[in-house]
A = this chain, B = another copy of it.
Amino acid sequence: MNSFIYDIPTRVYFGENQLGHLGKELAGYGRRVLLVYGGGSIKKTGLYNKVVTEIKKAGLELFECSGIEPNPRVTSVNRGADICKKEKIDVLLAVGGGSTIDATKFIGAAAFYEGDAWDIMTEKAPIVNFLPIVTVLTLSATGSEMDAGGVISNIETKDKIGLMHPVLLPKVSFLDPTNTYTVNEYQTACGAADMLNHILEVYFNMNQDLYMLDCVMEGLMKTIIKYAPVAMSDPENYEARANLMWASSWAINGFVDGGKQQAWSCHPMEHEISAYYDITHGLGLAILTPRWLTYTLDETTVSKFYQFGVNVFDIDKNLEPMTVAKKSVEMISEFLFHTLKLQSTLTEIGIDDSNFSIMAKKACEGNVLPGFKPLNQQDIENIFRMCL
């Protein structure tokens, strides 16, 4: 069992009608606020007006950086950083989902760097200073609202890089489940697949660790499995949206890791898929997850699959461990591809094997992808092929 440092000081305002605290929280960091958002859906829903009203009410100066893409691009990070420098921004306010929040995090770091923000992503340039970040979440998925990481894409080089740094942790996040009522069925499903995978990446681990956290992870997975279909069919179901929203934060804020420090497997593989084909991250993860599980199941790992099947899918604990294990993979496939109605193959979304070799090489950086089971380039290519 490893030691660890638990340090998640993000303050969260959870629930409806908490936005009255926004002005005070922002003002705690300064007067000049840069509002960062995506394609404008927050204007349609009315959230933009609510946020701007609170900023004005607090007497703060508002600047804007809109147009953050899904799979946010380094060009947007550079654009936001330029505004910060020019306008002497004090605090960043991200209103959106994981893409907007991720971009905002690196805008905050790039605001203190004179070169291309990509240098920060490639760790050519260290993060030396940062702007504080406040978020208003509109999509339950990536957990960026309460974690210290983010992922940025470079379209030119077809690279997608994730980076963690303690200063990237938002200071304050507003989690109002009603702000996710307008998330459509498909994006709700992709978000659920994303958070489920965040937990699986940590849960599937053969190290001796804190059983308590296994129980917590099983509870989070049961929550996602219970409420994702409810939110899909009844988008304004507060109970479902609330459970999914809080589960999204706790799936990845570091609590469940408890010192395991295991490298992740599906995420590096998926980042190559969405770097090459710009697909929704959660969909890529959904397609990969059951193949990765199938590929890693053997006599040495079966006990973890058994635990998963019994505790999450309520499979009869008296069955043979390997039977339970295989059934658990079937049940997660059933959940992802039937309950969540997600496409089940790369072929279905127009991706063939033409880039698998280079994608596999990049995923393992030409070496071995550590994790639940170490995967070399050939293993990763095999898993990609299982997704066709």
Contacts and interface: CB of A to CB of B under 8 A. Distances in A.
Interface string A233-259: 000001100110011001000000011
Interface in A209-241: 210-216, 218-220, 222-223, 226-227, 238-239
**Copies of this chain, whole number:** 2
A50 interface: no
A245 to B, nearest CB: 10
* Residue with the greatest number of chain B CB neighbours at <10 A, chosen from A17, A214, A246, A250: A246
A18 B4 CA distance: 9
Contact of A15 (B212, B214, B243, B259): B259
Contacts of A9: 9, 11
Given A1-B238, A4-B14, A11-B5, A212 B220 contact: yes
Contact of A212 (B18, B211, B243): B243
Nearest to A9: B9
A211 B238 contact: no
A139 to B, nearest CB: 17
Contact of A13 (B5, B12, B223, B246): B5
A14 B3 contact: yes
B220 A215 contact: yes
Given A3-B16, A3-B18, A212 B208 contact: no
Nearest to A243: B212
A348 interface: no
Nearest to A177: B1
Contacts of A7: 11-12
A226 B211 contact: yes
A186 interface: no
A227 B214 CA distance: 14
Contacts of A16: 3
Contacts of A6: 11-12, 14
Contact of A259 (B8, B14, B17, B218): B14
B212 A215 contact: no
A341 to B, nearest CB: 23
A314 to B, nearest CB: 9
Given A12-B6, A14-B4, A258 B239 contact: no
Given A5-B13, A5-B18, A212-B219, 15 more contacts: A1-B239, A3-B13, A3-B15, A7-B11, A8-B8, A15-B259, A210-B243, A210-B246, A211-B223, A211-B243, A212-B246, A213-B246, A214-B219, A215-B223, A216-B220
